[in-house]
Amino acid sequence: MMLFSRLHQRRMSFLIFVLVSLAIAAFFMLRALNENLLFYFTPSDIVAGKAPLNHLFRAGGMVENGSIKRSGLTVQFRITDLHQKITVIYTGLLPDLFREGQGVIVHGKTDKTGVFTAEEVLAKHDEKYTPPDVAHTLRDQQRLQQDHP
Amino acid sequence: MNIVTRYASPKHFSALAKRLAPWMGATAGILLTLGLYWGLLIAPTDYQQGDGYRIMFVHVPAAWMSLIIYVVMTGCALATLIWRTKISEYWLLSSPLLGASFTFLTLVTGSLWGRPMWGTWWVWDARLTSELILLFIYLGIMALEGAIPDRRKAARVVSMLTLVGSVNIPIIKFSVDWWNTLHQPASIFRAGGPAIHPLMLIPLFLMAGAFTCYYFCLVLWKIHKQIKGKHV
C-alpha cells in the first residue's frame, strides 16, 4: 500500500486548504465579535469610557482590601484592577467566595457620579488549588518579602 | 508497516479489539476506584473552596475527554477522507455519542460547581458558550450519521462535518486566555507548570486515566460488534 501516492497527496492538499480557510474564517469572525465576547469590563475600561452608559453591563475586578462596608443586606465595596477603582453598591445575598482580595464580577450600571449599582455579584476564583496551610505559608513568605525587600 | 497494514484489515482489528476491550474496561474500573477514593478521602481541602472543589475530579477529566475525543475524531476524519481506511470510519462513527456524553457531564458538573462558588448556574461567557457549542456539534454529527443509511457514505459526510467543527476546539481551550471570562484560566496545562497541589493532581490524573480507558473500552467493543455483525 502506498501511503502517499499522487491521489493521497491531492486529497491532503485539498483538506489542508479547507482547514486553513476555516481557521481564517473563524479568526475574522471572532475578531468581529471580539467586543461581544468580553464577559466584563475592567475598572480601567469604565474610567476610560468604554463601558455603555445607561445600560446594564458587567464589571470585573478585585475587591479592594478594607473597602467593604455593610449595613443590613446592603454592601458597598470598591473593585480595582490595580490601576483604577470603582465603587459598587449591592443589596442581596453574596456568593460564598466573596471576600477582600477576591476577584468578582458585578452586573448593573453606573450612575452620573460613577457609582456602580449592582443587581448581581458573582465571585471568580483563581486557577490555584492548594491546602490551606500551604496557602498560609505562601502568603507569609510574600508578606516577608514585601516587608523586607 | 507490516503491523499497520495487518490491523488496518477489519477482521484482524476486530479480533484485537475484542481482546483489548475487557482489559481497558478493567483498568478503567481500577483507576476509577483509586481516583474516587483518593479524590474524596485523601486529597486535602482547598484553601478557598473547602471541600466543594472535589467536583473537579469529575468535571476536569470529563472536559478533557470532551476535547480529546474530538481531536481523535478529527484524526479519523482526515484518515477517512485521505486513505478511505475502514477502521478510521468505524472509530469515527463510534465516538460522537461518547463525546457528547462527556461534554454533557462537563456542563452539568460545571453548573453544579458554579452555583455555590461563583453564585450562578450558568453565564454566557466564552468558555461555557464554546463548550455548549461543542455539545451541539456532537449532536449534529449524530443526527447527520443517523440520516444516511449507507455506513461508508455516512462516514465520509460525517468526516467533513467533523473537520468543520474542529475549529471550535482551540477556541474552547484558549477562550479563557483570549477573552475576559468568569471561568478561571487553565490550572494544569499552562505556562509555568500546574498551579495545583500534587496530592490533588494525582487523583485528577487517575480519573483522567479511568475516563480514557473507559472510552477506549467502549469504542473498541462497538467496533468489534459492528465488524462481527457485518461478517456474520
Question: What pLDDT score does A148 carry?
Answer: 55
> Which residue, among A13, A14, A37, A57, would best test binding to B if mutated, counting the most B CBs under 10 Å from its CB?
A37
pLDDT digits (tens, 9 = 90+) for B36-57: 999 999 999 998 888 999 999 9
What is the pTM assigned to this prediction?
0.90
* Interface residues on B facing A, Cβ-Cβ cutoff 8 A: 5, 44-49, 53, 56, 78, 81-83, 116-120, 123-126, 163-164, 166-167, 171, 178-182, 184-187, 190, 195-197, 199-200
Helical (H) or strand (E) element with A138: helix A132-147
Q: A122: which chain B residues are within 8 Å (Cβ-Cβ)?
A: 118-120, 123, 182
Contact B82/A18 with Cβ under 8 angstroms? no
How close A132 comes to chain B (CA, Å)?
A: 4
Determine, for residues A95 and B118 on separate chains, whether the beta-carbon distance falls below 8 Å: yes
Determine, for residues A122 and B56 on separate chains, whether the beta-carbon distance falls below 8 Å: no
Best CA proximity match to B188, nearest among B178, B166, B173:
B173
**Which ranges constitute the DSSP H helices of chain B?**
2-8, 10-37, 56-83, 86-94, 96-117, 126-147, 151-165, 168-178, 198-231
Distances in Å between the Cα of A90 and the Cα atoms of A76, A94, A100, A106, B20 are 6, 9, 15, 9, 58
Question: What pLDDT score does A149 carry?
Answer: 46
Determine, for residues A130 and B46 on separate chains, whether the beta-carbon distance falls below 8 Å: yes
Q: A19: which chain B residues are within 8 Å (Cβ-Cβ)?
A: 163, 166
Determine, for residues B46 and A40 on separate chains, whether the beta-carbon distance falls below 8 Å: no
Determine, for residues A1 and B53 on separate chains, whether the beta-carbon distance falls below 8 Å: no
pLDDT digits (tens, 9 = 90+) for B120-137: 999 998 999 999 999 999
- Tell me the β-bridge partners of A109: A117
Determine, for residues A96 and B117 on separate chains, whether the beta-carbon distance falls below 8 Å: yes
Question: What pLDDT score does B95 carry?
Answer: 97
C-alpha dihedral (B156, B141, B215, B68), degrees to nearest 10? 90
Of B119, B166, B184, the CB nearest to A122: B119
pLDDT averaged over 10-residue windows placed end to end, chain A, 149 residues: 82 93 92 81 88 86 92 91 92 88 91 88 89 72 59
CATH homologous superfamily of A43-123 equals Nucleic acid-binding proteins (2.40.50.140)
